[in-house]
Structure 1
Amino acid sequence: MKKFLFFFFLIFSSTIFSQTKVGGIVVDDSGSPIAFANLVFKNSSEGTITNDNGRFYMESDDTYNTLVVSFIGYETLEIDLSQKVNYNMRIELVESTEQLKEVVVYTGKQSKKNNPAIDILKKIWAKKRENGVRKFKQYKYDKYEKIEFDLNTIDSNVIKSKLFKGLEFVFDDLDTSRITGKTYLPLFLNENFSKVYGDNVLKKEKEDVLGNKNSGFQGNQAITAFVEDLYSDYDIYNNYLKFFDKSFTSPLSKTGVDTYNYVLSDSTFIDDKWCYNIIYYPRRKNELTFKGDFWVNDTTFAIKKINLQVTKSANINWVKEIYIEQDFDVVNDSIFLLKRDYMLSDFSFSKKEKSRGVYGKRTTVYDNYEFNLPRGEAFYKQVADPYDPRVFNRDSVFWKNARLERLSEDESGIFKLLDTLKTVPKFKTYYNIVSVLGSGYIEIDKWNLDIGDIYSTFGFNDAEGYRLRAGARTYFGQNDTWRLEGYMAYGFRDRKFKHGLSGKFLLDRKTRLILSGGNRRDIEQLGLSLTSTNDVLGRSIASSSLVTVGANDRLTNINLSTLNFEIEPVTNLRFRLGGSFRTLSSALPEAFNLDYLDPTSPTGISSEVKQFDINSTLIYTPGKRTIGYGVERVNINDNHSILLLNYTKGVEGFLESDFDYERLQFSYTQPWQVGGFGRLTSTIELGKTFGEVPLSLLSVVPGNQTLFSIYNTFPNLDFYEFVTDTYATVHLEHNFNGRLFSRIPLLRKLNLREIFGLRGAWGQLSDENIALNSPSNIPLIAPDEQIYWEYSFGIGNIFKILRIDFNFRGNYLDNPDARRFGVTGSFGFKF
């Protein structure tokens, strides 16, 4: 839902405080735009750099009379500013012909040798661990953060459009961006004040949130989660800076000399400290890089000021601009500490100059630093409750003292504007439509009920034919301590009703003790996962896929009842203990039976399994972040590892359960950010079943007969092609994020992304289990002779939403109806 609501902002995509504004284009004598030209107000350190198209915009709270424009290999030009606002400027630079003694003139790509800028850069690398709070044993500081979203490029066409008919009052308060010069309308503002404590000796840090104030969509955790994930913390001294799930090479990186051109441009005093100014810009297009400049002190080689602007050619979707500023204060005459961090993102469907979109702005201010006050390890174990109601209900006196940077007049007006908007029926209609598309549920407030989810309404499979489904859930708020959910479905071929009912109850918020249970009677494709289904409402895409490869007739009737307790005594460490009772039988016995030898049956064969299991699971997700404190929380990030250990005990005789067995399973999923080479996702799964069990309880190597790319499955395997009681699988998928295609001239402008996948499975099936399942009418084969493997090549970001994978089978080509090659795909909005 986060991304649906984000794109809602895009679809619905003045007061002047500054004293000097300039904007326009810089060209050479032939009229061609000059990218990365340097502009600065004379006798100041305030400046900017032209974008890929030679365009610029800059403003200042101070009044300046002269603009200085320069670029390597061109004459420096000083332009008199006749008025405070100077838009649509056309600045023409002339190539430099003067040869100065002992001056090297750099043009185009800069040399890595004998470059004074790189000499300074090397000293920054050597000193970077000696700056900031790392210099002290302990530290403490105040942190104030505000995040704002605004509609931008507001003009008369937008104001008079039918979309905003009846909402014209929102345009009474418009402002102009000091970065882009565009008129914008504030829509959302979140303020947060906290105190941060750290101990470099103990390697501990904690942040106590003391106040949080939200305007706009404060009840919507999906938007809040999107904002939290969007603006994660970063350190400019790191080699790579992560934004929008992508790694950008930092201009201060040790690999920067291979990625950027560096030019020593100027030197001057800033706050009584002599600093060098270095301009940097990318060596190649289409890579995840920045352009900008920074000021660095001549003795500590600590950064005093830096700005970073993502180039328009960077392979990133829906983001037209990213602009970052950081300012550092000097304490104790030599320690540089981060004072202010500002980031602006311009989200838009198009990167064209005049396209409309949404600004996302984050400003973080740091103050009141204290050092070398030890607090002990016990202090860091005491974590404040971030959902304490007092945190969200601070009065105006608190915020007056907490704001380390005052709100502008327009920012202050957001709270009143949004309160008014919520009473306008037309705006509520827009918001409700997007909420339905994002969550899949239709809210009925007067009944505290949601209808849905709408995306499961229609389906098809070989057993049911066409299928209709309708469901609902209780919904009093996003932090409900209990939730009931259920559905009914009907298959037009088998003419049978199906159902599912689930309940979850949060018994203790501190330890997140949850009681859950329910019942489901339905048809399911069990061959898509190595783990038994215990989700009474879950349903795999293979069970209702409209189009499949080959016959999708190996389906199972399932009647499942569960009761579980879950507890999270330590953050991100969960324990689950529960029991389940399943009745399993084939949905299409003629094509796929689940028969097994049964001496107690009159015929010696049974086709139905009744099984009671006791299940215990440990799930560890280090680094996972969530918001909310109800029975269902919202995940913020997906860049965390997942470790799962599962033990299942089948109990024979209880509730007429048929089999006694034990199963042990382990899986480990880890995403790896491989610097500027993209993102690798790896998964290892291991499992073993002790005892004799029928086919319906064995571990099936997950095939995939759908046309969708589904991670952790084998797209060239049919369902139940390999059946095991002992198994090991490995999945590797690497997304290069366009790193390779960006070096191919004909493909560079398409911003395509290359994905490589490699998968393997090994398993065994004991002679006892083969004998037990001998009546089965499908071959029982395990990949025990050699590891089964596949590989794939994928192209992502086609039209910005489509990914296509070309999948190849590596071996076992003699299996019945073995598929050597297949094509799968997926859709999605990805940055």
Structure 2
Amino acid sequence: MKKLLLFFFSLYSFALLAQTKVSGVVIDEAGIPVAFANIIFKGSSEGTITNDDGVFYMESDNTYETLQVSFVGYETKDIFLDKKVNYEMKVVLAEGGEQLKEVVVYFGKQSKKNNPAIDILRKIWERKRSNGVKHYKQYNYDKYEKVEFDLNTIDSALIKSKIFKGLEFVFQDLDTSRITGKTYLPIFLNETFSKVYGDNLKGEEKEELLGTKNSGFSNNQALTAFVEDLYSDYDIYNNYLKFFDKSFTSPLSKTGIDVYNYVLADSSFIDNKWCYNIIYYPRRKNELTFKGNFWVNDSTYAIKKINLEVTKSANINWVKEIYIEQDFEVVNDSVFLLKRDYMLSDFSLNKKEESKGVYGKRTTVYNNYVFDEYKDPKFYKNLSNQFNSGIVEQDSIFWKNNRLEALNKDESGVYKLLDTLRTVPKFKSIYNIASILGSGYVEIDKWNLDLGNIYSVFGYNEAEGIRTRLGARTYFGQNDPWRIEAYTAYGFDDHKFKHGISGKFLLDKKSRLIVSGGNRRDIEQLGLSLTATTDVLGRSVASSSLVSVGSNDRLTNINLSTFQIEAEPLNNLVFKVGGSLRSLSSALPDAFSLDYLDPESPTGISSELKQFDFNTTLIYTPGKRTIGYGVERRNINDNYSTLFLSYTKGVKDFLESDFDYEKIQFSYTQPWQIGGFGRLLSTVELGKTFGEVPLGLLNVIPGNQTLFSIYGTFPNLDFYEFVTDTYASVHLEQNFNGRIFSRIPIIKKWNLREIIGLRGVWGDLSDENILINSPTNIPLQAPNSKMYWEYSFGVGNIFKILRIDFNFRGNYLESPEARPFSVTGSFGFNF
């Protein structure tokens, strides 16, 4: 995220369009800022709320003469606006508020009992399923969306800085945000137009993308995927709204009365509908909540207008502001439909008012609703991912006819600005550096080649010592129908070169028929997962660990060749069929042996395994969204489940293969958003191997001797401590996102996040498999007398980037080398 923010600091544009602008601070008679005060242009429904410091900014395309400021417990104050632009106003509210007409105002911390605002809220809960498109059997509508990124808080010092020398032309026109009042420069704009169909009786929905238009860094797949994940759809009537992988309590939630204060503040006609105005603000700081207000109809209890603003104290990183507006239109006397949705996020390295950052803005407009138009069930089947269609950008005539909201002057200028910037050498250099840091690859355009990954150039392990690696891949564009990737590595202790090469070819876009294959000859730390990998370029962090616990010397020489065919006949349902040939031997035979009994060997013992396997795999990922339609796609969300089923058949004597055996494996991973209690990640794995096989073909319970927290492993197990041919394991990890720490006075301002983990595994190893592996120099045992289990307590978001886990071993402590306790950690830029 930090890299992305640094990447955006390169450019900027300005034009005053609004007719009325106001900004300032609201304080009480003692000079203390009044947070969450209501600011409104008198006689309108256009308003905002002061932030935690009492500061406000608001503008309108209309001309108003009076600003009204109010808050519970204070007298309402009307301020005459003698000019169109009134900045740095200082509004002092006197205590002793008056009762508004037709509503009752409650003072101080709002009671949950006898509060008319909460009575209205309960009626909203009762009616929410009968409002919107859910009121009808079927529906379809047009959907237009534009996503924009802007650099903000531009001042003269930034304009004159060295980084923008030669790029001064981008500052010729700067605009001001109507939400924050900050100057900004648009640098990225993406438009889409689609048709949405739904059937409430069958629970089906389909979106057909009809056109796209990109500016800015449109060929940067990482940025585009980030934007798509950032602005996922949400429904304000849901109990929780997911933004930045976190669940915020909706002000319309049934649990809202536990985290929000509600005040019935006003009532008025809006579009000929009598509505109540309710102000809400959080009861406690540091929780994932909003402040704002909404207008609700007095008969249908449907929302007419709502705005939501995340409080600065909310436990979220790199985001200073989140502001949301939604407007609904009245279709008839009983149904309100979403008409316009606007969301603004202010990304910044810190939350200081003067800090520079990047705006991310999404505007979605809905129109041409049609209801109860039946579609055959086949219409919704085989739902193609909207980003797989490969639709080319539409021309200006298409957008003239389908753009549901006109671009303003600054948005229109983005296309021209970026075309110009692409010709400026300095801008291209800045872009290239940021792109390298973000993707890990150095682009060589004239060769259609990327060099990298730069983050895997250096490594270390006990077999190779210091290790260097250089790699490259073909890259003609983000939607390449084929891609070849290769690397070479060298170990300075074993004085050996290693290599890997793979190729993927997309033969059919509709079914995503892909043929792939490759070869890898390298040193690897096997046993980091229960499912064996056939990725010829993959490499675990444990294979190049600079710091490890105990003797990290159980490394394996691997020579792996693979061939595979895969297809995706239904969205997110992937079938794979292939074969692999691998040779395994110990990289440090004195410390770690893969020896097994072999009657055909002159000595009766073999130290190297050669095996051909035939494998079929089914992977189902419901809810997964991807971007791109080439041979490689990028995921744009992580809140989907994964079901994995694999059958492996070992074929003896084919290509000199050593063993006949069969293996069945199943895993199910599911993330759970548990309302305001954060996110639970769960994984269940089951497996069985049929036949007598050596250690290299058994299922090693994944230990972890590194200092890194690796989900799916057992951090208090050494590598190969438990080996099985039959197993069942479960992993649970709950991230409370600071819900507990936010209630502890001393540490609540630190925005720490608490994580707890629980994991266990049962496994068995047959007498036959123990016998065949008797020559190995490591003890073979399985957790069959009782389930092995561990638990952990973690603290995340330390300095916004560090997580530390304290791991405890639950049993099997008899071994003198058993590790009852360990500390692991990880780094990352997370929201």
For the criterion TM > 0.5, the same-fold answer is yes
SS at match of 2:574: strand
| Partner residue in 2 for 1:5 | 4
User: Which runs of no fewer than 5 residues in structure 2 stay unpaired?
Assistant: none
| Cross-structure match for 1:749 | 749
Query: 1: CA distance between counterparts of 2:98 and 2:491?
Result: 84
Q: Residue in 2 aligned with 1:85?
A: 85
Q: Is the 8 A contact 1:10 1:349 kept in 2?
A: no
How do 1:272-421 and structure 2 match up within 5 A?
272-381=272-381, 386=386, 391-421=391-421
The residue aligned with 1:106 is 106
Residue 652 of structure 1 is matched in structure 2 by: 652
Change (3 A) 1:615 1:388: closer
1:764 aligns with 764
SS of the residue 1:121 aligns to: helix
Aligned equivalents of 1:102 and 1:267: distance in 2? Answer: 7
CA distance in structure 2 between the aligned counterparts of 1:750 and 1:717, rounded to whole angstroms: 33
TM-aligned CA distance change 1:548 to 1:384, over 3 Å: closer
Secondary structure of the 1:392 match is coil
Aligned to 2:223: 223
- Does the 8 A contact of 1:139 with 1:198 survive in 2? yes
**How far 1:102 moved relative to its partner?**
11
Q: What residue in structure 2 maps to residue 715 of structure 1? A: 715
Q: 1:382, 1:553 → 2: CA distance?
A: 49
Q: Secondary structure at the match of 2:379?
A: helix
**Change in 2 beyond 3 A, CA 1:588/1:794:** same
Normalization by structure 2: what TM-score? 0.98
1:589 alignment partner in structure 2: 589
In the TM superposition, residue 97 of structure 1 has moved relative to its aligned partner by 7.3
Number of residues paired by the alignment?
830
CA distance in 2, matches of 1:619, 1:381: 18
Q: Give the AA of the match of 1:415.
A: Y
Cα distance per residue 1:528-586 (max 9 Å; x no partner): 12122211111111111111111111011111111111111111001111111111111
Post-superposition offset of 1:8: 2.0
Superposed displacement of residue 11, structure 1 = 8.0
1:706 corresponds to which residue? 706
Q: Distance in 1 between matches of 2:524 and 2:292?
A: 55
2:116 aligned partner:
116
The alpha-carbon deviation at position 435 of structure 1 amounts to 1.1
SS in 2 for 1:549: coil
Q: Residue 103 of structure 2 contacts residue 267 of structure 2 at CA under 8 Å; is this kept in 1? A: no
Distance 2:568 2:3 in 1: 30
How far residue 412 of structure 1 moved from its aligned partner, in angstroms, is 0.4
* Corresponding residue of 1:154: 154
SS in 2 for 1:746: coil
Identity %: 76
Q: How does 1:136-147 map to 2 (within 5 A)?
A: 136-147=136-147
Q: Indicate if the aligned counterparts of 1:215 and 1:414 stay in contact, CA closer than 8 A.
A: yes
Query: Aligned equivalents of 1:561 and 1:359: distance in 2?
Result: 47
In 2, distance between residues paired with 1:707 and 1:174? Answer: 48
SS at 2:746's partner residue?
helix
Q: 1:102 to 1:628 in 2, by over 3 A?
A: closer
1:615 corresponds in structure 2 to 615
Partners in 2 of 1:752 and 1:186 — Cα distance?
A: 34
Output the amino acid matched with 1:315.
N
Aligned match of 1:529: 529
Q: Secondary structure at the match of 1:119?
A: helix
Q: Look up the SS of the partner of 1:417 in the other structure.
A: helix
Shift in Å, 1:389: 8.4
What is the CA–CA distance in structure 1 between the aligned matches of 2:313 and 2:436, rounded to whole Å?
34
Distance 1:728 1:378 in 2: 39
Instruction: Give the match's secondary structure for 1:526.
Output: coil
The alpha-carbon deviation at position 383 of structure 1 amounts to 5.6
Deviations 1:348-380 (A, max 9, x none): 011011110000010111111122222322333
Show CA shifts across 1:465-504 (max 9, x none): 1111111111111111111111111111111111111111
Measure how far apart 1:388 and its partner are.
Answer: 8.6
AA partner of residue 209 (structure 2): V
Deviates more, 1:394-403 or 1:412-421: 394-403
| Corresponding residue number in structure 1 for 2:559 | 559
Distance 1:617 1:72, change over 3 A: same
Distance 1:542 1:204, change over 3 A: same
Partner of 1:799: 799
Give the secondary-structure state (helix, strand or coil) at the position aligned to 2:794: strand
Contact 1:759 1:790 in 2 (8 A): yes
Alignment of 1:671-690 (within 5 A): 671-690=671-690
Q: Which residue in the other structure is 2:172 paired with?
A: 172
Measure the CA separation in 2 of the matches of 1:272 and 1:242.
Answer: 33
**Quick one: distance in 2 between partners of 1:10 and 1:173?**
17
Cα deviations across residues 365-410 of structure 1 (Å, max 9, x unaligned)?
1111122222322333476785698943322121111111111011
1:254 match: 254
Q: Equivalent residue for 1:425? A: 425
Q: Deviations over 1:689-709 (max 9, x none)?
A: 100001111100000011100
Could you tell me which residue of structure 1 aligns to residue 72 of structure 2?
72
Q: Does the C-alpha gap of structure 1 residues 644 and 44 become closer, same or farther in structure 2, counting only changes over 3 Å?
A: same
Which AA in structure 2 matches 1:397?
Answer: I
Native 8 Å contact 1:10 1:348 kept in 2: no
Would the aligned equivalents of 2:264 and 2:276 in 1 still touch at CA under 8 Å? yes
Which residue number in structure 2 is paired with residue 519 of structure 1?
519
Structure 1 partner of 2:232: 232
The 2-side partners of 1:291 and 1:312 are apart by 10
1:55-88 CA distances to partner (integer Å, 9 max, x unpaired)?
Answer: 0001111111111111111111111111111110
Alpha-carbon distance in structure 2 between the residues aligned to 1:178 and 1:47: 11
The DSSP-based 3-state class of the residue aligned with 2:484 is strand
SS at match of 1:358: strand
Q: Which position in structure 2 is the counterpart of 1:572?
A: 572
1:486 has 2:504 as partner = no
2:609 maps to a residue whose letter is: V
Counterpart residue type for residue 8 of structure 2: F
2:187 corresponding residue in structure 1: 187
Give the TM-score normalised by structure 1.
Answer: 0.98
In the other structure, the counterpart of 1:95 is 95
| 2:198 counterpart of 1:198 | yes
Residue of structure 2 in register with 1:55 after alignment: 55
Does the CA contact (< 8 Å) of 1:6 and 1:223 recur in 2?
Answer: no
1:775 alignment partner AA: P
**Gap change, CA 1:292 and 1:128, over 3 Å in 2:** same
Does the 8 Å CA contact 2:11/2:164 hold for their aligned counterparts? no
Provide the C-alpha distance between the structure 2 equivalents of 1:100 and 1:52, rounded to a whole number of angstroms.
25
Aligned pair in 2 of structure 1 residues 262, 312: CA closer, same or farther (>3 Å)?
Answer: same
Instruction: Name the structure 1 match of 2:829.
Output: 829
SS of 2:134's partner is helix
Taking the aligned partners of 1:11 and 1:773, their CA distance within structure 2 comes to 61
Distance of 2:220 and 2:105 partners within structure 1:
55
* Unaligned segments of structure 1, at least 5 residues: none
Letter in 2 for 1:407: L
